[in-house]
Amino acid sequence: MTPALTWALAGLLLITLELLSGTLYLLVFGVAALAGALAAYLGGDFWLQCLLSGVTALAGIYLMRWWRASHPREAAGSNDLDRGQIVQMDSWIDRPAGIARVKYRGATWDARVEGEYQDGDVLRIRGQENGVLNVGVNRPQ
């Protein structure tokens, strides 16, 4: 088996494993192995194949880290489908701390109330964190 074929098979194997894992690092190493295969196919020495593969891997990891840093993920619960929905006040657990029980979709939830709540105020969901709803007062205008 030629070195170019060995590099190419290793690269394809890593790319295939990437499809099962979803981390993108194996994709970077698979592409780097394909760069080594290209160097071998063009007749480069083994040290050049390894160097090209290593440089490609380092560049890919750097680009992936840069991309992730420049595209931060949304905070947990920020893509919440319940945001903006109305809940009903059930009872206070700790009123000074703003912790209450609310009813929403037929279930009782713990909620963190933001703002000053008065009887009759409408509470709307603003987000969720660790199973606790963050709700806010929405007074009629």
Which regions of the chain are under pLDDT 70? 74-80, 139-141
Domain assignment present for residue 109? The answer is yes
Q: Are 8 and 65 contained in the same domain? A: yes
pLDDT of the residue at 82? 83
- The closest alpha carbon to 98, from 65, 137, 66, 44, belongs to 137
CATH of the domain at 92: 2.40.50.140
Position 75 scores a pLDDT of: 59
Q: What is the pTM of this model?
A: 0.55
Q: Which two tokens stand for residue 14?
A: 């890593």
Residue 92 lies in a domain: yes
Domain ends where: 46, 70, 94? Answer: 70
What's the domain range around 49? 3-70
Residue that is written with structure tokens 């929905």 in the block: 85
Domain check: are 52 and 98 in the same one? no
Q: pLDDT tens digits, residue range 94-105?
A: 888 889 999 998
96 and 63 in one domain? no
Whether 77 is in a domain gets the answer: no
Work out the angle at residue 59's Cα, subtended by the Cα atoms of residues 57 and 61, and round it to the nearest 5 degrees. Answer: 70
How many distinct structural domains can be found in the chain?
2
In contact, 90 and 106? CB cutoff 8 Å: no
Residues 65 and 90 in one domain: no
Let me know whether 56 and 94 are in one domain.
no
